[in-house]
Structure 1
């Protein structure tokens, strides 16, 4: 409940900032005419995110004689904060390092081929992540006080605050490409940059080494029984984020 209230508050704040920023794009006088010529600059990130799983089903017959399937069922909105370190490489090209802390939660539902759900219900996976992306920002032509851009690069993530007693536990690290786009809005004293980006994890994030789980019913969901993969042959992670960068 508290997370949702914070997310709604951030959403309202960002909407007000966007409406305020639009009025500065009217007229012929450009703001911050030399801001893009700086060798480097810093900023911070405030935004919303949705953490997601991309499940690959194993289709194995498990020890209970059933084939189970798992899916991410809820669209949960979390919030994120981060910092920006930007290095100018050329007229339209920057390199930036933007560590971001994502707060979120994902829910997995397991059903067998007959539609029966897992005993114990859905599994909540708390997913607080720190992302370390190295990105390249390609900027378009500036029009008055707005300039579009595209970003792309590679990121590594670290899971923090994992619940080690839950049936599903994630590995500590992941990696993958990160892409996105946004707009630099030049205000009188700073740049406000609405941005959308997506991260696509490449590794299998489910921790299959779970000697701590004695319950056979949980073991098949947590990563597999002896000699098998369990419900998932692979479980990859995705992050979709809408943020406002203050630079």
Structure 2
């Protein structure tokens, strides 16, 4: 998947650089405000903060006879789609608002050493996010049909709470291994990345790579169960490959 994406990007760059004429991209650089849409492929994970006594036998009242050996974040793939509004501030700076829906899951692996065998629990943190990023884009000078750029900013993220999460509040006992690990419904995150504006005849195409991470602990407070007790905190992070069409 990654190799195919890189091949497409470099092929488009080569075609643009070697073109014998300059494309206008629909004269987009002469517009003060322009709009478009985006499609993205995302990979989400967590940065895990553990309790200092997470591996001490008996520290978790829900597993008094078991020893927790490790808590591992597992990355999962997802996708996103949305819109963009771009405000041209100057020759080299743009302000971008890119609201989008992001469908991405994150996973945690809990490895226990029981008296009789080894037990592994995989807990999927399911989320459908509405993300509202406000980003500052710094563009290089145009080289034929290509501009390179760096981008960064802050975004507000809110989770569209699922029925499954609501049922989890009351349906299961705290020591039930079906319990979920839940995150806050809303949080702020920072993100930064690089990309390229490729000017075609009637529009501009921009492949972009970004990293994002929540600014604070996103683990929901008040949940005390088999899987949340050994956790001191979770920080949501993601790698984004996004294609913009303006």
Same fold (TM over 0.5): yes
Equivalent position of 1:57 in the other structure: 50
**Structure 1 residue ranges without an equivalent (≥5):** 1-7, 214-218, 224-229
Distance apart, 1:127 and its partner CA: 2.2
Change over 3 Å in CA distance of 1:113–1:208 after alignment to 2? farther
**Structure 2 residue ranges without an equivalent (≥5):** 54-58, 169-178
Distance apart, 1:22 and its partner CA: 4.2
Equivalent position of 1:134 in the other structure: 134
Distance apart, 1:14 and its partner CA: 9.5
Contact 1:14 1:244 in 2 (8 A): no
Equivalent position of 1:100 in the other structure: 100
Map 1:225-244 → 2, pairs under 5 A: 230-244=229-243
Map 1:186-205 → 2, pairs under 5 A: 186-205=199-218
Equivalent position of 2:197 in the other structure: 184
Contact 1:197 1:242 in 2 (8 A): yes
Equivalent position of 1:146 in the other structure: 146
CA–CA distance in 1 between the matches of 2:6 and 2:78?
15
* CA offset digits 1:57-85 (Å, max 9, x no partner): 11222222666342212x32211111110
Q: Does 1:43 align with 2:42?
A: no
Equivalent position of 1:216 in the other structure: none
Change over 3 Å in CA distance of 1:18–1:40 after alignment to 2? farther
Please give the secondary structure, in 2, of the residue aligned with 1:104.
Answer: strand
* CA offset digits 1:77-104 (Å, max 9, x no partner): 2111111101111110011110121112
Contact 2:13 2:146 in 1 (8 A): no
Change over 3 Å in CA distance of 1:203–1:66 after alignment to 2? farther
Equivalent position of 2:181 in the other structure: 168
Say which of 211, 219, 226 aligns to 1:220: 226
Q: Judging by fraction of residues, say which structure has more strand.
A: 2
Distance apart, 1:171 and its partner CA: 1.1
CA–CA distance in 2 between the matches of 1:116 and 1:183?
48
CA–CA distance in 1 between the matches of 2:4 and 2:11?
11
